[in-house]
Each structure stands twice: as C-alpha cells, then as structure tokens.
Amino acid sequence: MQIVFTSAVDASDVLVVPISKDGGFTGPAGGENMVAIARAAAEAAKFKGEAGSLVEVYAPFDGTVRRIVMLGIGEGRDAEWRKAGGALTAKLLTVAGSATVLLTGLGDKPSADAIAGFAGAAVQRGWRHDVYRTKLPETSKPTLTRIAIVDAGADAEAAFARVHAINGGLDLTRTLVSEPPNKLYPETFVERVLNDVEGLGLEVTVLDEAQMRDLGMGALLGVSQGSVREGRLLVLKWNGGAADAETLALVGKGVTFDTGGISIKPAAGMEDMKWDMGGAGAVAGAMKAIAARKAKANVVGVMGLVENMPDGNAQRPGDVVTSMSGQTIEVINTDAEGRLVLCDALTWVQKVHSPSTIVDLATLTGAMIISMGHEHGGLFANDDVLADALLAAGKATDEKLWRFPLSDAYDKLIDSPIADMKNVGPRGAGSITAAQFLKRYINEGVAWAHLDIAGMVWSDKPGVNHDKGATGYGVRLLDQFVADRFEA
C-alpha cells in the first residue's frame, strides 16, 4: 500500500475525517456542509470519537457528493493514532481503492510521530498472505492501494521513512511465520531471508551441519537429527556504529516445524507449530529494519534453524548431549527443544562476536501462554537496566512485556543426577526453569535478556496492526530498543 503526503485533497474514493474525543474538527474550506452532515450522522450513531471507532456517511464536499468516514482518534495520543490507522484499513481494505485523510481543521495538530504511526499501522493492517488461496472471491480481495494524508507536514513524511523501513521488516517476519512447513524449512528460511535483505549492507554467515558439528554444537544438532532437513545457523551482522562501539546480539529460536520429536505433541493444533520459528523470524525482520534505516549501531542477529521430527534417528528422552560450551545436558523431553537450539547459538555468538548485550527471542514454552495469555511476552533478565529498557520499548510500540523472576531456587530444579543439567524441570514454573537453562550459557559480565513470545507471534483474532495470523511481534520492539539503548 502506498502512503502519499500532500497539501491538496484529491479525488480519492473515500474522504477520512479524524475526529477527537471532544469532537474538535472544523473542516477544510469547501467542506462546511460536509461537516454539518457528518456531525449529525455522528450524533445519530452515538459516535464519540473513541480511538478506532468509525462512522460512514455520504455528504457534499467541494461541489460533489463524497463518501466520508469519520474516524475516532480519542485524545490524540500516539497509540490512539496507530489504533485509528489500523481501524481505517480494516474498514476499507476490500471496499475502496484509495482514501484521503484530512488533517486540516483538527484543533490540535498531531505530532509527526503520531502521523507516521497512523500511516504505518494503516499499511501494517493491510498485510495479507494470500499466496496459496486460488479461489478467493473478488469481494474478499484487497483493493485499497493508496492513502493520501493532507497537510501532515515535512516532519511527518521524514518520520514515516523510518516506519516504512520497519514495515519492511514486519513483512518479512510475517511471511516467514505464515509459510507452511513444506515450503519453509532451515535451508529455504536462509534462502528467503538472504533474497529479502540483499543490497542492504548486511554481513552474512551461514553454517551447515558439518560446520556446526566441527564446532561441537551437539545440543542444536541433537534436535535436528530426526529430520531429513538439515539444520542451519544464519547470521546477519549490521555494522552501523563506531568500530569500537559495543555490539548487541539478537538470537532467535528457529524451529521451522515442531512435532515434539519422540515426545510427540497431540495431533490437535499441531499445524500451528509452523510458527515455532517466530523468534528467528523476529530477528530476521528486525535486522532488515535496522539495516534499511541505517541504524547507527552494531548489531548481530543469530538464528538457529532446525526441524524437530520423530524418526528412527531422532533424539530420545534419556539421551545426553554435549553443547558447544562443553556443558552436558540430559534430554528428559524432546519437546523442550528450543532451549537446546538457543544454548549453542548463544555460545557461538559470544565466542565469535563478544557482544556486551544479548537479547534472545523464542516461542519457548506453553507455560508462558498459561501465565500471560496473548497480551504480553515474558521477559527474563540478569540486568535491571536492560530489563527496564526492553519494558519501555515494549510499552512504546504496544508490543508489551512482563518481567518474571530468576533465582538460584529455580535454577536447582534443572540439575541432573547424570549430567550438568536436564532440559526440563518439574511442571511448575516451566517458563522460569527454561530461562534458567539459557542463563547457564551466558558469560560473566554479559547483559542478557530472554523473551518468551509463545503467545504473541500468532493471533486468532485481528489486532490493531494485523489481521488474524502472523503478528510480526518483536520487530518493532527490537527496533525501538536499538534506537533507545544503542543509538540515543
């Protein structure tokens, strides 16, 4: 979808009139009758201007009758403008070709960031993955291709340039998460990402199974050994900061399909496990966004990619594997595989890139969904300053996080009688013991946070900036975190 910033009202299919909660809108020249009719329609519909609410009416404007949408923006906060942008696209996506948003006449002109957020959410909400739908009715096909914004100002257009870069990352993440597992597996994940980020200036490293075996990545390879699809480690590095500046590492779990392995999952709902690579998908999208907007920071994104399948060669409950760090792991449950992938990726990035800060993302535990539903991702951290920065970034982007505890008491729950640790603890505190497992692979002095996003990468209902399906969660959060913590 194209966003156009203009100073003139054009002949779009729809005129959009943003209205605040107090009704503060006077309208542009030539629109006095339109405003009067619109206000009467709003009163009849009990429209109060709440963010994201809409009323549609046909009214005269500039010598003709136009289709008018009154769009509530609440009190005009940035988050409310984003909500309004998503609501507008949801309303018009399949019933209009173009729309013009009239900012002229608003009592308090919105900030450049608010307008950019509005436009960004409008584009984000229009994303669809219809690649495999061959019989989609014409009335269900997206038609909205252009939104013009009148009198936004040059600052808003500049602010939208960053949002546009982030949207490119979101598109990549959502596509990866949405693809079926017969199309997206470790090798094709790498191909798709590299094709998508080509020309952005990212340094690329790809390790195959032979190379990972030579490095001693027994934990990651143990997960992969039951699949005919070979695992991969994909690394994207952006050198946008000073040569001596600290490096941030983003590490993502990329299980492109998770059957649970020998500890096989129930059949009902297993098709959803195509999105068990949501952490790696978020890292790929964030790296694309960071590179596209030329962030002044040094960031390395590491994605551990495997498929977890039951097979005669699959890892068994009771096996003991040796991770790249040299620590041994008793595998109690092969469906607790994400932490096995992440621990070797964490060790590799610390050995090769020596980051000062690491943030890992993973759809790691069902226990997180039990704890938080689909409203917050879980945050675990060994550093309060890092945790606070991530919480603030989550609040600013509406990709919310909630911090959970770590302690020696939880850590003891994953001690093994025959190895250095086991890959699961007891039933209670499942998300916490998973985080404690990862913490054992973090070097002294490295600030580390783990984001368990199991409930956030896929949605069964539409949201502010997404339809049902892949949400792209994590891309905006990570980009904001980089801007706040490493570019400020």
Instruction: Give the DSSP letter of residue 17.
Output: E
Nearest alpha-carbon partner for 53 in 10, 28, 23, 31:
23
The CB density around residue 183, as the number of other CB atoms within 10 Å, is 13
More confident residue, 34 or 11: 11
Domain identity same for 270 and 413 = yes
Asked whether 369 and 458 are in contact (CB, 8 A), the reply is no
Domain range for 315 is 164-486
What are φ and ψ of residue 25, in 5° steps? -150, 130
Amino acid letter, residue 6: T
- Same-domain pairing of 358 and 286: yes
Strand partners, 202: none
Q: What is the mean pLDDT of residues 268-295?
A: 98
pLDDT at 5: 95
The mean pLDDT of 71-93, rounded to a whole number, is: 95
Q: Residue 108's pLDDT band (boundaries 50, 70, 90)?
A: confident
- Both ends of the chain: CA-CA distance in Å? 31
The per-residue pLDDT for 24 is 55
Structure token digits, residue 281? 């998908």
Q: Compute the distance between CA of residue 468 and CA of residue 281 in angstroms, rounded to an integer.
A: 17
Q: What percent of the chain has pLDDT over 90?
A: 86
Three-state DSSP class for residue 257:
strand
Q: Are residues 344 and 307 both part of a single domain?
A: yes
Of the given ranges (98-112, 235-249, 451-465, 472-486), which has the lowest mean pLDDT? 98-112
Domain end residue (candidates: 116, 151, 186): 151
Report yes or no on 158 lying in a domain: no
> Could you read off the pLDDT of 15-50 as tens digits, one per residue?
998 988 876 555 555 566 777 777 778 778 888 889
Report how many helices (DSSP H) and strands (DSSP E) the chain contains, helices first: 14, 19
Which parts of 392-460 are beta strand (E)? 401-403, 421-422, 447-452, 458-459
CB-based contacts of 11, cutoff 8 Å, min separation 6: none
pLDDT for 52 equals 95
Share of the chain above pLDDT 70, in %: 97
Q: What is the dihedral of CA 335, 337, 338, 342, to 10 degrees?
A: 170
Q: Do 86 and 227 share a domain, yes or no? A: no
Same domain, yes or no: 136 and 280 = no
**Domain check: are 463 and 433 in the same one?**
yes
Give how far Cα 352 sits from Cα of 205, 300, 355, 361, 450, Å: 11, 11, 9, 20, 20
pLDDT digits (tens, 9 = 90+) for 354-409: 999 999 999 999 999 999 999 999 999 999 999 999 999 999 999 999 999 999 99
Does any domain span residue 224? yes
Same domain, 369 and 284: yes
CATH number at residue 55: 3.40.220.10
**What is the pLDDT, as a whole number, of residue 370?**
96
Interval 304-324 mean pLDDT:
98
Task: Please give the residue that has the higher pLDDT: either 42 or 322.
Answer: 322
Give the whole-angstrom CA distance, residue 416 versus residue 332. Answer: 10
Number of domains in the chain: 2
**pLDDT value, residue 342:** 98
**Angle at Cα 482 formed by Cα 398 and Cα 302, nearest 5°?**
100
In a domain, 255, yes or no: yes
User: What is the structure's pLDDT at 239?
Assistant: 97
pLDDT above 60 (res 273)? yes
Tens digits of residue pLDDT in 184-217: 999 999 999 999 999 999 999 999 999 999 999 9
pLDDT higher than threshold 80 for residue 245: yes
Give the chain's length. 488
Instruction: Return the active site residues.
Output: 265, 339
Mind listing the pLDDT tens digit for each residue in 167-184? 999 999 999 999 999 999
Mean pLDDT of 49-59: 91
Across all residues in the chain, what is the average pLDDT?
Answer: 94
H/E stretch holding 14 reads: strand 14-19
Asked whether residue 137 is assigned to any structural domain, the reply reads: yes
pLDDT, tens digit, 9 for 90 and up, residues 109-127? 899 999 999 999 999 999 9
Task: Give domain status of residue 84, yes or no.
Answer: yes
Tell me how far apart the alpha carbons of residues 420 and 385 are, in angstroms, rounded to a whole number: 30
Please tell me the predicted confidence (pLDDT) of residue 417. 97
Q: 147 and 169 share a domain?
A: no
Looking at residue 9, what is its pLDDT? 85
Q: What is the CATH number of the domain that holds 248?
A: 3.40.630.10
Tell me: pLDDT of 473 over 80: yes
Residues 6+ apart with CB under 8 A from 62: 9, 30, 31
Residue 369 confidence (pLDDT): 97
Mean pLDDT across the stretch 341-348?
98
Residue 72 inside a domain? The answer is yes
Please tell me whether residue 306 adopts helix, strand or coil conformation.
strand
